[in-house]
Every structure is written in structure tokens, then in C-alpha cells.
Amino acid sequence: MTGCAFHGKMARMLRLVIANLNYSSWSMRPWLALKHARAEFRCHDVGLKTEAGWKERILQFSGAGNVPILIDGALCVHESLAICEYVAELFPEAKLWPEARELRARGRAISCEMHAAFASLRSELTSNLRGRTVLRSLRPETRADIARVFEIWKASLDASGGPFLLGDFSIADCMFFPVAGRFRTYGVELDDTARRYSEALFRLEIVKQLEAEGANTPSIPEYDAFLSH
């Protein structure tokens, strides 16, 4: 975390520095957490791969060189999961983590797993919320990642009783929403549990708002190319 370029210029208002909401799964996660918490915040899209100077704009706020970054006064928080945690602390009434300790532990474990793993799924099924295709074949590693996601979803829904992973909507759903989006984009066949959970996500008003935000953002051809692999 670093000092912030916005600090001191304006009245305190949360700011989320993001990339294109159609493609940036990492940006979607804290965006959903903030919306669920009914937080007032402004988004600053750096223009990833579409506008000159996008990398320098990110580096103004975080030496890690990645978005999302949440700015709260002098504080810049980078890393999507850390931002979700910060939002949970700022808005405890939003109950972004469940009260039951066991479910909270599960939620943190699966959110960390989402953050750290699934490399094959992420690289073969690039996030593209508005894109639609049906991929004919997938790498075995991607199929294994998909099976693990289904396993996590089923175990969590069984433990909590649903309709979301930990019962009510939580950070765990923010972390896994982009995966449900990837499954829809690339026509991945869902089992019954995964289909019901995905439908619950896509029915959410904040998800509809996110889809509307992502609908008209600039196209990034190198990501759209994955639709025709």
C-alpha cells in the first residue's frame, strides 16, 4: 500500500481504480462488494490496453502495477481480496462475511483459493462478461479446475443451505461471480447445483448493474480472440 495521488484534492469519497468491467474479473469483485454494501464510490477506469498511459496511471496508485485499487483518503489498498475485506470492515452492516465462524472460515479459505489458484481456467477462459461462444474442447487442466470449482460450490452450498455460497451473499460470491460469468461466456456445461447457484447470482440486481456497466466498454481484441479458439 502506498500514499495516494488523489489525497487532499477533494472531499473524502471512496474511489475504485479499475480496468474494463467487461474483462477485468479482478475489478468486478470489489465492485460487487461495494455495491452490495451500498457504498458511495466513484470508479476510475484506467483504460487497460485501450488508452495510452494506462500502466502509468495504475503505477501512480500502486507499485504492484495492477488494478483494482481502492482509495480511501490517504490510503490506497491494492489486491481484490484485501479490498473486499476492507469494505467488509467499513460497512459491517452489509454482513459481507457470515456471523457463523465455521462458515466464515470456509469463506476465507475458498476466497483465498480463488485468488491463488485456477491458473488454467483463468488463462483458457478469459473473462468476457458480454461475450458468448461454445468452446469445443478444453485443456485437461482447465477441466480439472472446473471440476474443483463445482466441488467448492456444492460443498459450500450444502454446508450453508444456500442460495449463496455461505448462505447470504458474501465476499465468497464476489470472488466466484466472475467464474460463473466465464462458464456462461464459454458455454461450459453446468451440473444442477452449479446451474442453480449461477442463476441465483445472475438474478441479483447488483449483477445486472455490473452487466450493464460492462455492456458498452471498449473492446479489447486480444481478449475477444479467446471467443474463437
Ligand X SMILES: N[C@@H](CCC(=O)N[C@@H](CS)C(=O)NCC(=O)O)C(=O)O
Task: Report d(CA 58, CA 67) in Å as an integer.
Answer: 7
- Cβ 77 to ligand X, closest distance in Å? 10
- Cβ 3 to ligand X, closest distance in Å? 19
Task: Report d(CA 183, CA 17) in Å as an integer.
Answer: 26
Site string (33-62) toward ligand X, x via CB under 6 A: ----------------------x-------
Task: Report d(CA 86, CA 33) in Å as an integer.
Answer: 10
- Interface segment toward ligand X; rule CB under 6 A; list 19-27, 31-39, 135-143, 149-157: 19-27
Q: Which residue has the cell 482447465?
A: 142
Peptide bond before residue 68 is cis, with ω within 30 degrees of 0: yes
Q: Which of 14, 15, 22, 26 binds ligand X (CB under 6 A)?
A: 26
Residue closer to ligand X (CB basis): 22 or 156? 22
Residue closer to ligand X (CB basis): 17 or 103? 17
79 binds ligand X (CB under 6 A): yes
Touching ligand X, residues 98-117 (CB under 6 A): 115
Q: What are phi and psi of 164, to 5 degrees?
A: -105, 175
- Cβ 84 to ligand X, closest distance in Å? 10
Residue closer to ligand X (CB basis): 7 or 115? 115
Residue closer to ligand X (CB basis): 25 or 170? 25
Touching ligand X, residues 131-160 (CB under 6 A): none
68 binds ligand X (CB under 6 A): yes
Chain mean position to CA 222: 20
- Cβ 150 to ligand X, closest distance in Å? 22
Task: Report d(CA 153, CA 156) in Å as an integer.
Answer: 5
Residue closer to ligand X (CB basis): 59 or 155? 59
Q: Which of 80, 170, 185, 217 binds ligand X (CB under 6 A)?
A: 80
Task: Report d(CA 157, CA 23) in Å as an integer.
Answer: 27
Q: Which of 16, 32, 67, 201 binds ligand X (CB under 6 A)?
A: 67
Task: Report d(CA 114, CA 172) in Å as an integer.
Answer: 9
Residue 98 region, left (φ>0) first, then alpha (ψ -120 to 50), else beta?
beta
DSSP strand pairing (75-78 vs 14-18): unpaired
Q: Which residue has the cell 478444453?
A: 138
The alpha carbon torsion through 161, 119, 69, 112 (nearest 10 deg) reads 40
The size of the interface with ligand X (CB under 6 A), counted in residues, is 12
Binding site for ligand X (CB under 6 A): 19, 24, 26-27, 55, 65-68, 79-80, 115
